[in-house]
Amino acid sequence: MGYVSALVPPIVMAVAFTYLVVTIIKNQGGVNKSKEDAAVDAALARAEAARQAASAEPRS
């Protein structure tokens, strides 16, 4: 029975990794693409606004 306990963790990890990859592939593009693009655009806009605000402040 020692071989069963030795094989279970790698099998569980392989199944979990396969599930993760399938989930990532399914969520690429399609209906979610515009939502993801909008989130990235909003984050980039916030970062650019923060950078411009920091450079516009007078230095002492």
Domain residue limits, the chain: 2-56
Using CA atoms, how far apart are residues 40 and 60, in angstroms rounded to an integer?
34
Using CA atoms, how far apart are residues 32 and 30, in angstroms rounded to an integer?
6
Q: Which of the four pLDDT bands, split at 50, 70 and 90, describes residue 58?
A: low
Using CA atoms, how far apart are residues 58 and 60, in angstroms rounded to an integer?
7
User: Which tens digit of pLDDT belongs to each residue from 7-49?
Assistant: 999 999 999 999 999 998 887 777 777 777 888 999 999 999 9
* Residue 11 pLDDT: 95
* Residue 48 pLDDT: 93
* Residue 60: pLDDT over 90: no
Q: Which two tokens stand for residue 29?
A: 């593009």
- Residue 60, SS3? coil
pTM for this prediction = 0.47
